[in-house]
Structure 1
Amino acid sequence: MALLDKVPGELNLYIGGLFTVRRRATLQEANITHILSVLRAPLEKELFDGFQHMNVEVDDMEDENLLEHFPATNKFIHDGLESGGGVLVHCAMGKSRSATCAIAYLMHRYHISPSEALEQIRQSRPLCEPNEGFMKQLEMYHEMQTPDDVESTPTYQKWLYQREVELSRACGQAPEAEKIRFEDEHGQTSQDDGFELRCRKCRRALAHSKYLISHQARQAPFNQWAPVSDLSATTSSCSHYILDPLSWMRPELEQGKLDGRLECPNPKCKANVGKYAWQGMPCSCGEWIVPGISLAKGRIDEAKPTSAKSAAAGMGIRMPPGAKATGQGNL
């Protein structure tokens, strides 16, 4: 295995380990002008004299967030290539972190999948193998269509929320109130399709089916990111609807308790409609759901979505003549 391996193709893009940086003659021979370091370790500044240098300080751990750095590393690599020079991406061994950043760039430039980019890199450097956490981040980056702004995308924000829940769970605590993501507060979309979940006692609309989390019985692989549009994937044996946190749950979920019950937000009703457990809960189908936020099917009815005006009328709210109801206040 060479100290410096060129990614096959037209680009002057190279991958190597930390020792590669000390081979100045090798770098000059390859016309390297830019060096991207992807590791958390003391680096001797004189090693990078004469080079454009960028350092992303991350460990080769599955729970490291390398995804947030992709836009910056992509730009650095692109600027180096466009300047007419060569770019070296290195980590400690030239195996996981450096490969991940190189893959992200190839995905962004050529609109290819993580597996396709990895296969291309392995043609010259077979040892390249991003750790499992980085591969999942690359797959998410692909699903997001490799945006220049990762942090504002709903997929990334929800992923951060899931990481926060997992961290809190490991510490035996509920997530901090400001870290809880209430899905109905993140963008407004049409609710013409699907169905509503209504309190069986007072008929108050509690959720739309788009906020349900599809899951399968334990014997089948569980994918919490499965599209909710295919609700047939959720086994009919479940006695609860599993869903994302919604804004009407805020007074209860922000109390900092690990678990508790959910009451209908209609002040004249207050029926017990479900429960939650940040550490997770077993569904009746056998799957373990984290976090466990659920509505009991025995206390909920499915109904065709109604307009905001009709919903308001159903809740005893008189709309002014000619007024148009807006928003999703019934969720």
Structure 2
Amino acid sequence: MSLRNKITLKNANITHIVTVLRMEIQEDQFDGYEHLHVQVNDVSDEDLLEHFPSTNAFIQSGLNGGGGVLVHCAMGKSRSAAVCIAFMLHREPSALNPSEALELLRQARSLCEPNDGFMEQLELYHKMGCPDDVVNHPLYQRWQYERAVEESVACGRGPEIDNVRFEDEHEDTTNQDYNTPTEIKCRMCRRKLATLPFIIPHEPQEKRRQPRQMQKQFTDPSVGAIPCAHVFLHPLTWMRPSLFPSPSDNPDSKPEDNNNLFPDAPLSGRLTCPNTACGSNIGKFAWQGIRCSCGEWVTPAIGLARARVDVLDASVKRGALTTGAGIRLPPGFIRDHAKDSGASRESL
């Protein structure tokens, strides 16, 4: 309706129009205006995030030229509101978050309400720092990988190998400071499996359906917190044989099967140590997700079992006589007790 009200558009000094609709439009409606057409549906799984840099640049060009910009969709509620919020975030990334920008937008148009998927994308865009290049940003690529996994799982199969982002193969992660002291090693052969940048943090859900004793351990510092049973990781190169087993790994496979190196990937399975001389079972994966022992649901889930690995502080030198973070203490072991009883490192 706004497009047809030419008098109002003129009075508002509209020179640029952004159309956020997946449909055929009559181009003659935009005669005399600079026009950008973004074809997306108003559904939560639509990728609007990739269009934010182009819409931001277009809106800014209209304002820089002394004109006004009309951003419209079908109802002026979800898609167009999300595009406006993205522009506001891009201009003031440190001053506003998506929720604050939405409240500010509602002062002019109270019915604005981007769908949940668009709000999540705006949160991700804000977390990325509102860059001019979205598609090459590691957080966007990781989000795309997770979306591909979700779609595959919905079809009852594992993802395709080309859709999985192996974090240690990308420059943005390999150039990070990997002198971080935190290391995860196979308990059997001491093969290093991961460092801190590849660990996926997750927060335990407080007391959710926990037995009374476990609830006490979550809240009472004297009892000590219960560590999660698994350490969850991003996909890494050494996991390929476990995540995408080739037919040659199956003794029952037929010769013609070997033409397809990676057939349908399993939805879940075991993770084995990449050291061929070891090959011990060190964890499990489930593309559809795993509920951690803390109660949190992690999707997709690639987890190393704490009982099969050691999480170490590599900055603690071997031969040190003090009880440091590099020593894996038994559950419930209290260092003060060890000190008072005269226990040394050799006795642990």
Deviation, structure 1 residue 22 = 1.2
- CA shift, 1:93, in A, is 0.6
2:69 aligns with 87
Residue identity in the other structure for 2:310:
D
What's the offset of the Cα at 1:68? 0.4
Q: Output aligned runs, 1:268-279, within 5 Å.
A: 268-279=277-288
Q: Given the alignment, which residue of 240, 255, 261 partners 2:270?
A: 261
AA paired with 2:115? N
Shift of 1:152: 1.3
Deviation larger for 57-66 or 205-214: 205-214
Contact 2:148–2:163 under 8 Å retained in 1: yes
Separation of aligned partners in 1, 2:272 and 2:132: 41
Tell me, in whole angstroms, the C-alpha distance in 2 between the residues paired with 1:23 and 1:181: 48
Equivalent position amino acid for 1:191 in 2: Y
Q: Find the residue that maps to 1:25 and give its secondary structure.
A: helix
Of stretches 202-211 and 174-183 in structure 1, the one that deviates more from structure 2 is: 202-211
Alpha carbons 2:231, 2:305 under 8 Å: kept: yes
CA shift, 1:217, in A, is: 3.3
The residue correspondences of 1:1-331 to structure 2 (distance < 5 A) are 19-111=1-93, 112-186=96-170, 187-188=173-174, 189-219=176-206, 236-255=226-245, 256-305=265-314
The TM-score with structure 1 as length reference comes to 0.79
The letter for the 2-side match of 1:71 is P
Paired with 2:312 and 2:92, the residues of 1 have a C-alpha distance of 45
Q: How far 1:31 sits from its partner (Å)?
A: 1.7
Gaps of 5+ in 1: 1-18, 222-234, 307-331
User: In the TM superposition, what is the alpha-carbon distance from 1:134 to its structure 2 partner?
Assistant: 0.9
Query: 2:244 is matched by which residue type in structure 1?
Result: E
Match of 2:256 in 1: none
Q: Which amino acid aligns with 2:228?
A: C
Partner amino acid, structure 2, of 1:160: Q
Q: Distance in 1 between matches of 2:27 and 2:138?
A: 38
Taking structure 2 as the reference length, the TM-score comes to 0.75
Change (3 A) 1:81 1:66: same
Larger Rg: 2
CA RMSD between the two structures: 2.0
Superposed displacement of residue 265, structure 1: 0.9
- What displacement does 1:116 show? 2.8
The separation in 2 between residues aligned to 1:220 and 1:113, in whole angstroms, is 30
Identity of aligned residues (%): 53
Amino acid at match of 2:104: Q
Greater CA deviation, 115-124 or 202-211?
A: 115-124
